[in-house]
Structure 1
Amino acid sequence: MSFVKKDLFTPCLDVHFFLSHNVTAIVYRELTKFEIMVSIVWSILFVCILLSNLLVLGVICFKRSLWNHSSLLVGSLCLANITYDFMFVLPVKVLNIRNSIHSFVNIYCQLSPTVIQFAFVCCMNFHICSISLEKFIAITSPFWYNQISIYKSAMFVVILLVCWILPTFVAFLPLIIGWWKICPNFCLLSEAKENRYQSLQAWHIFWSFLMFLLPTIVMMVFYVRVYLVARDHARRIHCTSVGIQPAVTLKATKAVAIIVGVYVILQTPYNILQVITVVDYRVIPGETRYLLREWLAYAASWNSVASPIIYGFYNKNLRSNIIALVCRYKSSRFRNVSRTSLLSK
């Protein structure tokens, strides 16, 4: 049941009204040069997300030796990245979905930058948190982690369900409690008039907290703990094997720095802008704010390319299988080229 009466919502616009008054630009407007450029650069990102995640996901699916909890989390992350690629990047940024005479297109246009974007970005960041949790358990409780246990499998199933279901539920929360209402004939959500600004402000701050700040804190805590435990283990080894400790510590430091650093560098600017814009939109002028949001969102989305590459590189089994697959492809291509050249002679 909605907490806000329907007559207290902002009015729903209708494209048919504008078309009946010959305002066809509301639907059939040509793209500007800037929009075309944005579409091109997002197309490049779309291909990069698809290829990098398909490669890692394909290797995990077809190599039985990789069917373990660590690879399962990475594979689920790749699946989330691919779904985000097709459900947000392709329709919203590449194809430039906008007002239409079809209700489904208008509904999807309304949900894309709000519900869909939040759900999948939050889902991907939750996966990154889960991977850090898995690394933490693996290094702090190695005996329990390496045991085949139904409780451990159940724990990972629960983690995956939380990663997928919780962001989806929270993303639809403003619609469930009656802050927003879907308008089928225009690409613009209707909002509750009562405490409209406060509701919008609270939602976007909560959005940034759940989507970015909370996963960042959790990930940094787990990876710092992983680094400290790895350093402690290396010091113990150093007692019997001189010269090993600095190399092990350096490797652990690099791994933590790259994983945390790439995530923070790509995600932080966009989320800071979101909070600043909601708290006081007058701080940044309108056109500058639009350009900043567009390019910072673009930079943040490169995390969907970086994450499978980073986690694939730091997973020894996964890395060796990917390298073997690439080498096999190159050798088969070289043989085909050589055979073709010999036949042509």
Structure 2
Amino acid sequence: MSLTHTTCPDVRFFLRLNFTTIVNRPLTKFESDSIIVWSILLTAIIIPNAFLVAVIMCKRSLRTYSSILVGSLCVANVLYCLIYILPVKIIVIGNSIHPFTNIYCQLSNNVIRFAFVCCMNFHICSISLEKFIAISSPFWYNQISVYKSVMFVVILLVCWILPTMVAFLPLIIHWWRVCPYFCILSEMTANRRVGLQVWNIFWAFLMFLLPTSVTIIFYIRIFLVAKDHVSRIRADSQVSSPTNTPSIALKAVKTVAIVVGVYLLLQTPYNVYQLLATIDKELGLRVHRLNVREWLFYLASLNSVASPIIYGFFNKNLRDGVLSFFRRLHGPRTGLSTTIVERF
């Protein structure tokens, strides 16, 4: 019978040979420094995301479709910290005599990480869709409709279920097999390298290129709709002097630039590197010695810090909810004026 999958090593065999370092491997200097840096990032992610979720849950007025999407994104960010960053980057799980630890170690980098990053990017894409609907069809959006509720439920299900199903797909179709006594996946031997390249290119498309393209398209459309609204306001008001141009267009440009710009700045370098390293293995090995991949992934993970701050600020209801919380602590403050751009 031909071997269809690569052989699974067994940590118990190495322990019988007294190779205990395979289980109790000492951390390198880089790993020790990396633990500190990732611990700071974990704290920076959990605090604003958990705070925003708590504000949404405590105030009934904030339980709108827009706030729920932002809250769901914040939940994904927190779970990303607890399920991936904490065990993988801070605790640094590795080979163990316990099958559960080994299986989790295998799934963490090959399944869990991709699923959460894809889930978070899908949320960002869905938020742009919601903003586009809100500003392009305000009358339909403000109506209480069963169809609208079903649409948002479907959006949330797609954001959570689709990335998870696709991430586990290689295991479902037996392309990969878990090794219970070693932190390494067993792969199909037939067309192994080509299959790995195809899989990584597909993930780059689904995890980054697709949601990024859709997000940019929606925010460009949002900007064009806002610009059209400004033109109509000027025509109705018969404003002829350019100095009296409403500030809505300028705010719309700033909003699109910040939302899209921060996302692209943090996410693009890592995904470009992943694609290049997959296509050119030698390049990947050379750059890997410099730990470039680790720092680029750290940069991409900073998006989980930026997203609750950005979306919390540009969502008027959330911003007012957060400000009202601080007003209770520090006394009354002046309110903020509202414009059409606050639908962003």
Q: Which interval holds the TM-score relative to the shorter structure?
A: over 0.9
2:246 pairs with 1:250 = no
179, 190, 195: which one pairs with 1:194? 190
- Counterpart residue number, 1:275: 275
Which TM-score applies when normalising by structure 1? 0.92
Which TM-score applies when normalising by structure 2? 0.92
Q: 1:230: how far off?
A: 0.2
Partner secondary structure for residue 7 of structure 1: coil
Q: 1:32: how far off?
A: 1.3
2:24 pairs with 1:28 = yes
Deviations 1:251-303 (A, max 9, x none): 00000110000111100010111111111111244464561110000000010
Q: Which ranges in structure 2 are unaligned for 5 or more consecutive residues? A: 332-344
Q: How does 1:8-157 map to 2 (within 5 A)?
A: 8-157=4-153
- Counterpart residue number, 1:262: 262
Using the TM superposition, name which of 90-99 and 285-294 deviates more.
285-294
Task: Give the Cα–Cα distance (whole angstroms) in 1 for the partners of residues 244 and 178 of structure 2.
Answer: 61
Task: Give the Cα–Cα distance (whole angstroms) in 2 for the partners of residues 298 and 288 of structure 1.
Answer: 14
Question: Conserved in 1, the CA contact under 8 Å of 2:278 and 2:284?
Answer: no
2:300 pairs with 1:304 = no
Shift in CA distance, 330/11, structure 1 to aligned 2, threshold 3 Å: farther
Partner secondary structure for residue 170 of structure 1: helix
Question: Conserved in 1, the CA contact under 8 Å of 2:99 and 2:180?
Answer: yes
- Counterpart residue number, 1:295: 295
Task: Give the Cα–Cα distance (whole angstroms) in 2 for the partners of residues 115 and 290 of structure 1.
Answer: 25
Task: Give the Cα–Cα distance (whole angstroms) in 2 for the partners of residues 15 and 328 of structure 1.
Answer: 57
Shift in CA distance, 245/131, structure 1 to aligned 2, threshold 3 Å: farther
Q: 1:30: how far off?
A: 1.4
Deviations 1:204-239 (A, max 9, x none): 000000000000000000000000000110111122
Using the TM superposition, name which of 148-157 and 277-286 deviates more.
277-286
Q: Which ranges in structure 1 are unaligned for 5 or more consecutive residues? A: 332-345
Task: Give the Cα–Cα distance (whole angstroms) in 2 for the partners of residues 326 and 270 of structure 1.
Answer: 37
Question: Conserved in 2, the CA contact under 8 Å of 1:122 and 1:212?
Answer: yes
What is the aligned-residue identity percentage? Answer: 61
Deviations 1:42-87 (A, max 9, x none): 0001011100101111101111001110001001111111111101
Letter in 1 for 2:283: V
Task: Give the Cα–Cα distance (whole angstroms) in 2 for the partners of residues 19 and 284 of structure 1.
Answer: 32
Task: Give the Cα–Cα distance (whole angstroms) in 2 for the partners of residues 162 and 287 of structure 1.
Answer: 35
- Counterpart residue number, 1:326: 326
Shift in CA distance, 284/299, structure 1 to aligned 2, threshold 3 Å: same
Q: 1:129: how far off?
A: 0.6
Q: How many residues align?
A: 328
- Counterpart residue number, 1:342: none
Q: 1:141: how far off?
A: 0.6
Task: Give the Cα–Cα distance (whole angstroms) in 2 for the partners of residues 229 and 6 of structure 1.
Answer: 61
